Amino acid sequence: MTVQELKTLQASGPQRGTSHGAELQHHIQCGADLPTLLMTTAHTTGDLSVLRNGWRPVDVLGVAQCNVSDEEKALIREECYRRLADHSKRGGQPPVRPTYDLLRGIGEWFLGSSIEPLIPLLAEELIFDGHDLRQPQWNKETIAPDRPFHVAIIGAGESGIIAAVRFKQAGIPFTIYEKNGDVGGTWLENHYPGCRVDINSFVYSYASAPRVWHDYFGLRNETLSYLQKVARDNGLYEHTKFGAEIAEAVWSDTEQVWRLTINSAGKTETVSPNMIVFAVGQLNRPKLPEIAGIDRFKGESFHSAQWNHNVTFEGKRIGVIGTGASACQFIPQIANVAAKVTVFARTATWLLPTPNLHERVEGSERWLFENLPGYAQWYRGSLLMLQTPGILEYVIVDPNYAASEQAVSESNNFVRQELQQWIEAQIAERPDLRDALIPNSPVGSKRILRDNGTWAKTLKRDNVAVVREKISEIITDGIRCADGNSHEFDVIVYGTGFHASKFLFPIKVRGANGCSLQDAWKDGARAYLGMTIPQFPNMFCMYGPNTNLVVHGASIVMFSELTAKYIVDAVRVMLEKGAATMDVREEVFSGYDRRVDEANRARAWGYSKVNSWYKDANGRVGQNYPFTATEFYQRTNAVVAADYRFGPVSTATER
């Protein structure tokens, strides 16, 4: 339905017996999400009285639900339809950008008083009438039209795309260098069976580029096509050099530019941007396990991120090493066709019940997303208001609690018991699987995986076996374990993750005075706000050190949007100051770094001794962001110039 058709519908009024009115009533009765419907109604009519205390939603595993009787649910649907119909009859218009007070009123009903710090962030995330609050409100042409300034963005994944969009809006010349043949990053590279997002797609998407998804948790192909469409719609392909891999980045102290060495099509070239933005991600270089004889196996073997679609699994014996996020998606797929799948699982991972994990957006639900103005925005808002705070408070180590590998606080233990009961109910008849499904580590110590019961159902299959014994070596026809038992396979699949701790790997980076980034990070990768490092002028990272979201923050896409806004604002500050260089002050960097380390040690993932990709080789947590998403929003909303050193344009640069 077009905007004009919607206005016609509202002008005619559904209570006049129009088919549109009957259709709206039908779909509200059949498929409306009640908290979303109530907030949409309150916003559309401007009347908050529909948000009754008795209808306030409760948090059910990150999803808002009105915990009322069936009779009360019917009353909610009838009341919302009546109010929307009356609004249309009076000639009311579709909802526009909500005021601060309206956001507060709706947010307080939904979340309580804790909504207050989230209101500015929520205002940016819920876009009405195309009013994008994150779009730069300035342009280079008005600040420094004659000054040459070019940015190199390394990587065309979800973070590189949004950075490029913002640079283009600000009139800043840029070039994207992408090692692959198309945009999409991890969603281009990962194409294993069952690959999909594990964050609801209505949140795992740019606020400024909404989409009504085909699945609540988008499959890989739709996610990839979405990113490619955003790039096309914003004219980014014309600014991108594909098949261009950065080998080295060296700062020139005299010319105050970066020298990038680029390998492309067997040739090497050098470019000299004023600024570089590394948008290469944390999970983009596949990691094979360090197991003796890994090259000895005579059958087919590959990493899940390098899936070999020429290999057939029908009737074959498959060995899978690893039970992380990717493995939990592809193992159920291959178990449907393989003769036998043996899963080598040294540690178990906590599972978060997600009933709509594999559900399609269809029927009345889809109709409302596409036709009821404001409905899609408030559905996104409902997810954000719950998932942005998340369960961070439940994974903080309580110094007055006897913390252990079971739990780190009373509230952490409560979550453990809830998740454990859900898992144990699925394996009541298979107690032998308990150790493979119930982690011996606190909730939050490793990445929590979303599940709708598929994982336990897969492990219970007659053709699936779980091996907990440590692997000693790979042999020509399979895998030998430490207990001496050997397992024969036709195919081995490694679901063993990525070189998460090797940020910017394998690019060699040298900053001011020849300072090596690899040397600076020899004890672990660190960056102020995950973005900047002293002695590395005009260099920013996206999804850099300590920006990984674990149990809070809604989605990395939101963090990428906030990071992009900050980086573009840094260019504004430089241009307004007439500065050629900026790098973070050492004392600012060090103070933030100490606070990050202290906070991470006081989180379940820092306390626990369980093996996790959150930690580097030294045991330091270099990935996770330990603070609230609200703090990240506040600190990235605009650059604080006092945090940085600014250098004037040099004589060499002027020449």
Q: Which residues contact 561 (CB under 8 A, 6 or more apart)?
A: 134, 162, 206, 207, 208
**What digits encode the pLDDT tens for the residues 523-536?**
999 999 999 999 99
Any bridge partners for residue 481, and if so which? 471
Q: Please give the average per-residue pLDDT across 580-607, as a whole number.
A: 98
Rounded CA separation 254/581 (Å): 12
Rounded CA separation 151/129 (Å): 31
Mean pLDDT of the chain: 94
Q: Which amino acid is at 18?
A: T
**Nearest-10 crossing angle of helices 70-89, 34-45:** 30
8-45 b/e (C-beta count within 10 Å ≥ 16 → b):
ebbeebbbeeeebbebbbebbeebbbbbbbbbbbbbbb
pLDDT at position 13, please?
35
**What digits encode the pLDDT tens for the residues 52-110?**
999 999 998 788 999 999 999 999 999 999 999 999 999 999 999 999 999 999 999 99
> How many Cα atoms are found within 13 Å in the side-chain-facing hemisphere of 127?
16
pLDDT at position 651, please?
53
pLDDT reading at 542 higher than 80: yes
pLDDT reading at 14 higher than 80: no
**Using 50, 70 and 90 to split pLDDT, how confident is the model at 4?**
very low
**What digits encode the pLDDT tens for the residues 330-384?**
999 999 999 999 999 988 999 999 999 999 999 999 999 999 999 999 999 999 9
pLDDT reading at 501 higher than 90: no
* Of the candidates 437, 431, 424, the residue with the CA atom closest to the CA atom of residue 345: 437
Q: Please give the average per-residue pLDDT across 124-143, as a whole number.
A: 95
**What digits encode the pLDDT tens for the residues 134-191?**
999 999 999 999 999 999 999 999 999 999 999 999 999 999 999 999 999 999 999 9
pLDDT at position 9, please?
36
pLDDT reading at 294 higher than 50: yes
pLDDT at position 60, please?
85
Tokens linked to 442:
């606190």
Q: Are strands 58-60 and 63-65 parallel, antiparallel or unpaired?
A: antiparallel
> How many Cα atoms are found within 13 Å in the side-chain-facing hemisphere of 84?
29
Tokens linked to 10:
């509202």
3-state secondary structure 463-478: CEEEECCCEEEEECCE
Which residue carries 């408070």 as its tokens? 393
**Using 50, 70 and 90 to split pLDDT, how confident is the model at 499?**
confident
**Using 50, 70 and 90 to split pLDDT, how confident is the model at 285?**
confident
Rounded CA separation 495/326 (Å): 6
Going across the sheet that includes 257-264, the strands are: 267-271, 257-264, 244-252, 508-510
Could you check whether the bond before residue 534 is cis, i.e. omega within 30 degrees of 0?
no
* Of the candidates 583, 564, 426, the residue with the CA atom closest to the CA atom of residue 520: 583
pLDDT reading at 17 higher than 60: no
pLDDT reading at 655 higher than 60: no
pLDDT at position 12, please?
35
Helices (H), 300-374: 325-335, 363-371
pTM: 0.94
pLDDT at position 650, please?
64
Residue 550 contacts residue 445 (beta carbons within 8 Å): no
pLDDT at position 272, please?
98
